[in-house]
Amino acid sequence: MRFENINILIISPFSPKWSNISSLRWERLAKYLSKNNRVTLITSSFPESGFEKSFDIGNSYLIEIPLKFYAKNPYLNESNRILNNFPNKKTLLNQGLKSKLNPILEKLFPVSSGGMLYHDIFKYKNFIDEIIRNSKKTILITTYGPWFTLKIGNYFKKRYKNLIWLADFRDPSFDISSYKNTFFKSQTKKILKKADAIIVVTKQMQKEYEKLVKKKVIFLPNGYDGDCMFNLNQHKTKRKEYLNISYTGSIYNEKREISYFVEALKLSKEKAPNINFTFSYAGKDYRIVSEEFSKRNLGSLLNNHGMLTRDEALNLQSVSDVLLLVVYTGENPEEGKSIRTGKVYEYLATDKPILVIGPKNWEMRDEIECDGVSKVFEKNQTNEMADYIIELANKEKIEINIQKRKEVLERYLYRNLATELEKEIENLLKQKEW
């Protein structure tokens, strides 16, 4: 869909060059929006060159604004970045403290996490102002966080009445699991008064923001843009009384712990000692994983790969029998029910069963379990998890419904999500009578 004489301007401070999950969403959407439209992506950059991942923003024009200040550049040296990322108890404590302070700092200053990055909001405004003045019509898309992107959207919407402002939220700007009228909830409502529409990534966020702002809230989830790893021979055999499970994701203190799965694996081994179980992990939290296995005397089952490249991680998934996905293990199921990690779409692009640990009312439960084999378990269902693991291990063939899996994945391909966004933009243009 082509929008004549319109510039789509995307403000995404996390650069597509950075190996950061926050940068992927608008890198992919910009790629497909730019097939038929003029798209400009404005982002931040470190002044010195370092480890940068390959990226693809299609025909979009990239503007990079050097950071004004930063405590560290986590991409300066890939090997140092990996080695320094392994948390101990002290760093976990610091992370908990930072998680409480960061929202306040981001509200006051143009900063974001990942090295205490201080963005140059004035240069952002200068570049954006020049583009808007030289364009007949502009659609401004800001992506939260950090908070200063909302300030930018609000600033230019006041300055240019004919501007269309879409405020995108990768994460909620307030605690959507709390019914209290928090400070950040009221501040979000205030700053979004002039937004033309809101974009969110989960259905729960859509409900909460609709109640808050009383205007159009578009559900546009994160998605997938890689190759589909469906094996045409979906009924392939595996070794009976053997099961290799892998996890290629991150672990977060309390909110996303692997201990519940390891406990289930221990129970599996006790119930079926004749079965050969193995578990493969790839990620920055390999020490935490090692500790959880060691304290249960399961170290011999663990293949700990540490950090792998994306291609290496995908290869690890391809040789596994089952993929583990830890969605949420915190104490508040309302908080966890709308979490959609980027890993879920990556897993859906395989022909592997998925074992999910998350809330009972997780909003993707039906989509995961539609293949007839994959299962979602609550964290305390360790006995049920153990029985499920044993059941799969005793099979010579694990047959998932590939067609159902494909139908689910199709909804989350970034090319299709970009098309949905274009339709929403077209409706806004008709309302504006541009």
In this prediction, residues 111-133 reach a mean pLDDT of 91
State residue 98's pLDDT score: 57
301: in domain: yes
Choice between 308 and 157, residue whose per-residue pLDDT is larger: 157
Confidence bin at 384 (pLDDT 50/70/90): very high
Going by C-alpha positions, the residue among 56, 74, 62, 59 that lies closest to residue 11 is: 62
* Domain-located, residue 231: no
CATH number at residue 316: 3.40.50.2000
- pLDDT given at position 86: 42
Question: Do 385 and 299 have their domain in common?
Answer: yes
Domain, as residue range, for 144: 6-224+414-432
Residues 289 and 208 in one domain: no
Give the confidence band of 222 by pLDDT, cuts at 50, 70, 90.
very high
Neighbouring residues of 23: CB distance < 8 A, sequence distance ≥ 6: 12, 14, 15, 16, 17, 43, 55
- pTM for the full predicted model: 0.83
What's the number of domains the chain is made of? Answer: 2
pLDDT digit string, tens, across residues 60-100: 999 999 999 988 887 665 443 333 344 444 444 454 555 56
- Please say whether the beta carbons of 65 and 42 come within 8 A: yes
Q: Output the pLDDT for position 78.
A: 45
Report if residue 208 sits inside a domain.
yes
Looking at the fold, whether 257 and 216 belong to one and the same domain comes out as no
- Going by C-beta distance under 8 Å and a sequence separation of 6 or more, which residues neighbour residue 39? 7, 8, 9, 10, 30, 33, 57, 58, 59, 60, 61
